Structure 1
């Protein structure tokens, strides 16, 4: 696990600013540890800190109730104050709150799996997954999965919604990570990105898992920046050309509705 890039320390802030940056890095890592939690050793290594330093900062986070340590496993988890702060932020930043009804409708209408993906720097995170009624499902992307930019239909839709230079730079930075998923995938994703820009939606024709296809459409803020993406995943024989058109139309309708909901938040974003 790699630690998030720490902000540059402010010469005026000195050691205090550095300690804050390190503590925030640890807090982010604890959050990404999910249900199992993370050990002190794992957190110290991921953050690039000596164990005594990591422990001291974690104790401070525990005192603030942002982090807690399980008494039995000794692993660290997010604390109740982190949950409370997250609930306060939900109305402003909670894309899932705005997208959930659309996901349920799409899963009910199509019978396939519907995914909500959000950008995280040069990666994307699968925020939620809703299963349809069709008994044969694809499990190439699960809730909580974090992938490099462009890996998956939702991730590609987000990439295609970025300015071309920005999207190309993201692909370049994550090239070594993408290459780990398979030979030739870097070139395939470059072609998929060009196609997504032309068509307005992303298609994943089994790039990561053979037979597991996906279609994705970006959810946009009013300024055109991607807030996330909805995608539909299904086995290959449910992704014929005519059905693709139907699924893309349904995705576009729902993404437009979510975009309208997000637009109501824009005055708050501008005033922040």
Structure 2
């Protein structure tokens, strides 16, 4: 006997509501994590999540009960909890690119004196996992740890985009066009240049006077795991200095890629097949 439409709707609506609650909770958890050491207050979390304060409070209570978040009793701000830390530690060897890239970042910062970034792809965006500042007294502050930018924005994000297959990268750039606005045509030009050169150059696209150079870190199948980039004031990105910066970035990107390759024992053919 077939079910009536009303009965089907009654059974599926709770499942949809439950899935929505999970998505909201996970998004909120991600926002809390990006609050860093300072944490985030309830009002800021509600604004960033686009949810009401009562909804956010209810989700935070559930996450707190699972020890995924905790609230500082003094500041009333929210931070990642001990269970989140534990889960991250389990995934560190497999997915902890920061663990495998930090020594490279330190070497680059010491060698160049400039600010070094590690960026990873995240859906239609790129995420800055970390930044290390060199000793040059004038620094750029265009990108902070935890910042999330549309694909192709910034030297690291552009290096990741350029390492993707051409049809995939072009489609991705079109998908984020509503986020990049007038910057879109310039990013398309930068993408073509990055493919030709093998590295990305950001000539002050986001913050005037703040330039960047980025090189992709590749998995064994050739897909980008992330990117190392260097940012500095325009005068320190002159043409005669760029080759030295690119060479240093490429050297360290290869080192990180070799460490990542050791994490996956599968044959290259199988890796390609599973990521196709």
Normalising TM by the smaller chain, what interval? 0.7 to 0.9
Match of 1:127 in 2: 129
- The alpha-carbon deviation at position 68 of structure 1 amounts to 1.2
Out of 38-47 and 147-156, give the one that drifted further: 38-47
Structure 2 residue matching 1:255: 3-state secondary structure: helix
Matched with 1:87 is 89
Quote the residue 2:196 is aligned against: 198
Deviates more, 1:21-30 or 1:96-105: 21-30
Instruction: Provide Cα deviations, 1:118-168, integer angstroms capped at 9, x if missing partner.
Output: 112222222122222322222222223222211111111011111222222
Aligned residue number for residue 251 of structure 1: 249
Q: Give the secondary structure class of the aligned counterpart of 1:210.
A: coil
Task: Please name the residue that 2:213 is paired with.
Answer: 215
Partner residue of 1:68?
70
CA deviation vs aligned residue, 1:173-197 (integer Å, no higher than 9, x gap): 2223222xxxx42111110001101
* In structure 2, distance between residues paired with 1:53 and 1:207: 38
- Within 1, Cα distance between the matches of 2:160 and 2:64? 36
Summarize the Cα distance change of 1:205–1:36 in structure 2 as closer, same or farther, 3 Å threshold: same
Q: Which moved more, 1:49-58 or 1:258-267?
A: 49-58
- Which residue is equivalent to 1:38? 40
- In the TM superposition, 1:130-145 aligns within 5 A as 130-145=132-147
User: Of Structure 1 and Structure 2, which has the larger fraction of its residues in helix?
Assistant: 2
> If the length of structure 2 is used for normalisation, what is the TM-score?
0.83
Q: 2: distance between equivalents of 1:13 and 1:222? A: 43
Unaligned 5+ runs, structure 2: 1-10
| Separation in 1, partners of 2:112, 2:147 | 23
1:9-65 deviations in Å (ceiling 9; x for gaps) = x95982544443333233223223333433444444554555544433322211111
Q: Find the counterpart in structure 2 of residue 239 from structure 1.
A: 237
* Equivalent residue number for residue 102 of structure 1: 104
The 3-state SS of whatever aligns with 2:58 is helix
Q: CA 1:135/1:146 → structure 2, altered by over 3 Å: closer, same or farther?
A: same
Aligned length in residues = 258
**2:174 is equivalent to residue 176 of structure 1:** no
Alpha-carbon distance in structure 2 between the residues aligned to 1:150 and 1:48? 25
Unpaired runs of at least 5, structure 1? 1-9
Once residues 149 and 159 of structure 1 are traced to their aligned partners in structure 2, the CA distance between those partners, rounded to angstroms, is 7
Alpha-carbon distance in structure 2 between the residues aligned to 1:130 and 1:38: 23
> TM-score if structure 1 supplies the norm length?
0.84
1:263 and 1:11, CA in 2 relative to 1: closer, same or farther beyond 3 A? farther
> What is the rounded CA distance, in whole Å, between the counterparts of 1:37 and 1:134 in structure 2?
29
CA distance in 2, matches of 1:165, 1:101: 34
Q: How far did residue 256 of structure 1 move?
A: 0.6
Larger Rg: 2
